[in-house]
Amino acid sequence: MSFVEGHSLDKAWETYDRVTKNRVTNQLKGYIRELHEIPPSDYIGSVDFRPVTDPILDGCPNQGPFSAKEAFDNALIDAYRSKAPRCHIKSFLAGMLSQNKHQIVFTHGDLHLANIMVNNGSVTGILDWEFGGWYPEYW
């Protein structure tokens, strides 16, 4: 494992002015676009044809990998039915399942401010790739 210079974005964000925030945001958009441009795999799941590592599917009988988006969607529905408060299920899943044509892309899977390193107003690294894999573009 190597050292990534800088501080996590969750600690630095509030210290940045509007110009710096825009620069960091545009860098992140570019990195996400690059990830999504990696040629797609023929499955939905974690890297190296492993099951989905997202906590929502922990303990579920079918964790993939999935050969079709419909099978992935069905596993998500089953997981949310068993874990999420009933009042949240419909609204949460509506955005994900409303379109049948989501592209399958490579994604980080756990991208948030604490996993983004910055130094002097520029992104220096993205950490914690254990949830990375091939998922629908909304993931």
Residue 103, in any domain of the structure: yes
Q: Is 74 helix (H, G, I), strand (E, B) or coil?
A: helix
pLDDT band at 91 (very low <50, low <70, confident <90, very high): low
How many domains are contained in the chain?
A: 1
Residue 2, in any domain of the structure: no
Residue 1: pLDDT over 60: no
Neighbours of 1 (CB within 10 A): 4
Residue 131, in any domain of the structure: yes
The answer, as to whether pTM is greater than 0.85, is no
Residue 84, in any domain of the structure: yes
pLDDT band at 87 (very low <50, low <70, confident <90, very high): low
pLDDT band at 54 (very low <50, low <70, confident <90, very high): confident
- Count Cβ neighbours within 10 Å for each residue of 18-36 and write b for 16 or more, e otherwise: eebeebbeebbeeebeeee
pLDDT digits (tens, 9 = 90+) for 62-85: 899 999 888 988 888 888 777 766
Domain that holds residue 74: 7-136
Residue 36, in any domain of the structure: yes
Phi, psi (deg, nearest 5) at residue 41:
-90, 175
